[in-house]
Amino acid sequence: MPTRTTFTRRQLLCDTGLGFGSLALAAMLDQEQSQAQESRLDPRASIRRIAPKAKSVIWLFMIGGTSHMESFDPKPALNKYAGKTFAETPYGDVLKSPYMANERAVAFDPNNGFVRTEVYPLQVDYRKWGQSGLEISDWWPHLGQCADDLCLIRSMWTEDSNHGAQLQFHTGRHRIDGFFPTIGSWVNYGLGSLNDDLPQFVVMGTPVADCCGGVETYRANYLGPQYDGIPLKIDPRDPLPYAKRQPDVRREEQESEFDFLRRLNQMTADAFPEDESIRARMKSYELAFRMQMAVPEVVSFDKESKQTLDSYGIDQEVTRSFGQQMLTARRLVERGVRFVQVYHGSNGGAGNWDAHANLQTGHSKLCQQVDQPIAALLKDLKQRGLLDETLVVWASEFGRTPGSQSSNGRDHHPYGFTVWMAGGGIRGGIAHGNTDELGFHAVEDRHYVTDIHATVLYQLGIEPRSLTLPGRKRLERDYGHPIREIML
């Protein structure tokens, strides 16, 4: 019989953090309320809790589609048959696979989203790393050093052959189905806060462009705006929207205003003891003020050693920007933020990783921007004992075609690609699942994108299946399946 971790009502209500549309509820704690009423008022009462393995998630998203074959999924056959068409290799039948039908194209686009059938050789060498001997390409030399902590999932697939797949990766739904809550917002909704001074779902880097989901890749949709991701800028002077006082208001002046506001609201709260919204609003102002104070500290690196800063590559032009974001990510999870979503490669359109041409130049440069910072993050987390409770996820919306496009690039590829995870109760030094010899289809232990969501939720202690809201239909596939095989 399934044992459930029972959460007391008080716990549940205290655990609401930034996402606290139910602050009003917290105010009612002192009144006697029946259990039935409680579950009617807060749909989260129906969430099934399990013992959590991780407390926080750092979600790294490469915009545009990173080549799996030039990163984490070596395919010697591509070198062997370079220049030949698929039909001329022993693997010509990949195009007849029923998996081809999983593709849902949005609209015909003559420039991309095609199966390219002339084999394009690997543009980079691979080597074996660590005790596990995990194979990782030479464009990821720093990450290679963390191989024994990585779990490569080489058998991902998605539906959208165009960059709407960026949205799909975050909501689990194809772009033409519309917008849905994103994985970060589900986490924010399902989990309580560990730190009331900070938002629980933070977004860094320039997000996906409007072509491909835009703000909807970190919004909460029907869960409500309290669960939206909050964009954070690495600028201690102006890190959050509306979290900076107007330039001509003194700090002392604003503090006295906040203080006096609290006194005035308290008078109203005393006059209307039955109106919970006043107390909820008072608490929200306290939180807002603390947030306004706390957030600049998170993005200010005064207290980090030079050694730390250098390890993230903040001293070098090429790695500075992403390095700052990685260091901030660590500082955020250190302070109890639940979900940190970091974008890399925004270019106002499909994304920089979208290597239809010049794959070698492009990818090697982009890898350089993120490789050292990501590795530094993993090492830093580990050294501080945080990696065990922090789940790091690295992903891109899809992979790239084994065949060539415009002589030196690869097209979009939804049929097989790689995502990796590290920490947070995930086994390190393993590769799970496989694509075929060409790197075309995921063939072994296939995983749709929501399996990543389910795994994240499961490690955080939420049974994904129980994330439902009355009146909001979720399809069976929206829930995904936790990948049991990769868990410690």
Partner 1 sequence: MHNLVMPYMPLGMFLVAALARSADAQIDAGFYTSKVKPLLKEKCIACHGPVRSEAGLRLDTADHIKHGSSEGPILTIDHPDDSKILKRVLEAAPSDRMPPEGEGVALLAEEVAVLRDWIFHRTPSPDQEEAIAGPIDHWAFQPILKPKPPTPNATALSTVDGFIAIEQRERDLTALPESDRLTLLRRITLDLTGLPPTFEEIQSFLADQDSHAYERRVENLLSRSSYGERWGRHWMDVWRYSDWDGYKEEVRGSQRNIWHWRDWIIESLNENKPYDQMIVEMLAGDEIDPLNDRVLRATGFLARNFHINNRNIWLDATVEHTAKAFVGLTINCAKCHDHKYDPLSQTDYYRFRAIFEPHRVRTDPVLLNSPIAKTGFPRAYDADLSAETYLFVRGDDKQPIKGHPIESSIPLKLPIPISFGVSSVPLPIASYLPELTLEVERAAIEKALKKCDEARLAVDKSFQNQRESDLKTISSSESTALAAGLALNETTEKTDSRKPEASELRSQSDLAFEMLKLSEAEASLTSLKLRYAADKAKYFEGDSVANERLAAEALEAEQRWKNIESELRVATATRALRSAEQSQQKDEKKRAAAIDKAKKELTAAEVAHKKSVAADPSEKLKAYTPVAISYPKESTGRRLALARWIVDRQNPLTARVAVNHIWSRHFGTPLVDNVFDFGMKTPKPELLAVLDWLAAEFIESGWDMKHLHRILVGTQAYRRASSGSPEHMAVAQRMDPDNQFYWRGNVRRLDAEEVRDSVLAVGHILDDTKGGPDISEDDGEKNLRRSVYFRHAYEKQMTMMVMFDAASPNECYRRRPSVIPQQALVLANSQLARSASRKLALRIWKETGQVASEFVQRLFMETLNRPPDEHELDACLSFFKERTEKERIEAARYVSDAASKPESPKPESPKPESPKPEKPKSTSEPTLEPPASDPSERACQSLAHVLLNHSDFVSVR
- Contacts to partner 1 from residues 338-357, by CB under 8 A: none
Select from 39, 83, 241, 358 the one that contacts partner 1 (CB under 8 A): 241
Site string for partner 1, 366-405 (x = CB under 8 A): ----------------------------------------
Region near partner 1 per CB under 8 A, out of 142-150, 209-217, 353-361, 391-399: 209-217
Region near partner 1 per CB under 8 A, out of 71-79, 261-269, 303-311, 362-370: 261-269
Region near partner 1 per CB under 8 A, out of 45-53, 140-148, 306-314, 437-445: 45-53
* Rounded Cα distance, 348 and 10, in Å: 45
Map the footprint of partner 1 across residues 398-437, applying CB under 8 A: none
Map the footprint of partner 1 across residues 268-327, applying CB under 8 A: 268-269, 271-275, 277-278, 280-282, 284-285, 287-289, 291-292
* Rounded Cα distance, 225 and 99, in Å: 37
Smallest CA-to-CA distance from 331 within 357, 294, 370, 279 is with 294
Select from 7, 114, 179, 301 the one that contacts partner 1 (CB under 8 A): 179
**Closest to partner 1 by CB, 120 or 218:** 218
**Closest to partner 1 by CB, 144 or 482:** 482
Select from 98, 242, 302, 305 the one that contacts partner 1 (CB under 8 A): 242
Smallest CA-to-CA distance from 13 within 1, 30, 25, 31 is with 25
Map the footprint of partner 1 across residues 116-175, applying CB under 8 A: none
Map the footprint of partner 1 across residues 16-35, applying CB under 8 A: 18-21, 23-24
In angstroms, give the least distance from the CB of 476 to partner 1. 6
In angstroms, give the least distance from the CB of 396 to partner 1. 20
In angstroms, give the least distance from the CB of 50 to partner 1. 5
CB 224 within 8 A of CB 21: yes
**Closest to partner 1 by CB, 78 or 483:** 483
* Rounded Cα distance, 187 and 40, in Å: 21
**455 contributes a contact to partner 1 by CB under 8 A:** no
**Closest to partner 1 by CB, 146 or 230:** 230
Contacting residues for 184 by C-beta, under 8 A, at least 6 apart = 57, 59, 170, 201, 203, 218, 229, 339, 341
**Closest to partner 1 by CB, 136 or 456:** 456
Select from 87, 95, 100, 176 the one that contacts partner 1 (CB under 8 A): 176
Select from 98, 110, 131, 251 the one that contacts partner 1 (CB under 8 A): 251
In angstroms, give the least distance from the CB of 420 to partner 1. 22
Select from 35, 51, 303, 385 the one that contacts partner 1 (CB under 8 A): 51
**90 contributes a contact to partner 1 by CB under 8 A:** no
Select from 102, 145, 206, 265 the one that contacts partner 1 (CB under 8 A): 265
* Rounded Cα distance, 284 and 2, in Å: 37
**Closest to partner 1 by CB, 149 or 463:** 463
Map the footprint of partner 1 across residues 210-239, applying CB under 8 A: 210-211, 214-216, 221-222, 224-226, 228, 230
In angstroms, give the least distance from the CB of 400 to partner 1. 22
Cβ-in-10-Å burial (0-12, 13-18, 19+) of 300 comes to: middle
Q: For 85, how many CA atoms within 13 A lie in the half-sphere containing its CB? A: 5
**256 contributes a contact to partner 1 by CB under 8 A:** yes
